Amino acid sequence: MALSFAAFQKLIRDRYYATDSARGTPGTFMWLMEEVGELATALQDNAPGKQPTPDQRANLNEEFADVIAWLTTLANINGVDLEGALAKYTDADRVKGVKS
């Protein structure tokens, strides 16, 4: 099933907004950073040249999802429309080049 950013953001808002907004931005940001740390570990486990186990590969997918979910939570409690914010990447005149 395809899932747009708007639909995902609404799903996260519908399920978690009451708890997330009560926790606030600082607490939610800390949860996001914890998940980023877990993603960093999973990336190391799946680094080129390594032979990750199926469980390590599955964990990598899970950690990416967790980071996106917590980032979405942070956007929700700060009134940011992620789909609208991501539109900057569809404007070829606005985003040019790559970071090195």
* pLDDT tens-digit readout, 66-75: 999 999 999 9
Range of the domain at 45: 33-78
Task: Tell me what pLDDT residue 95 has.
Answer: 67
Flag whether 2 is in a domain: no
Whether pLDDT at 89 is above 90: no
Mean pLDDT score across all residues of the chain:
94
| Domain presence at residue 42 | yes
Q: Which of 75, 85, 83 is nearest to 7 (CA)?
A: 83
Work out the pLDDT band at 90, boundaries 50, 70, 90: confident
Measuring CA to CA, how many Å separate 8 from each of 26, 47, 53, 73?
22, 29, 29, 10
Q: Is residue 58 part of a domain?
A: yes
pLDDT for 93 beyond 90: no
Query: How many domains does the chain contain in total?
Result: 1
* Cα–Cα distance, 61 to 70 (Å, whole number): 15
User: What share of the chain has pLDDT > 90, as a percent?
Assistant: 84
pLDDT by residue (tens digit) across 11-22?
999 999 999 999
Burial class (CB in 10 A: 0-12, 13-18, 19+), 1: exposed
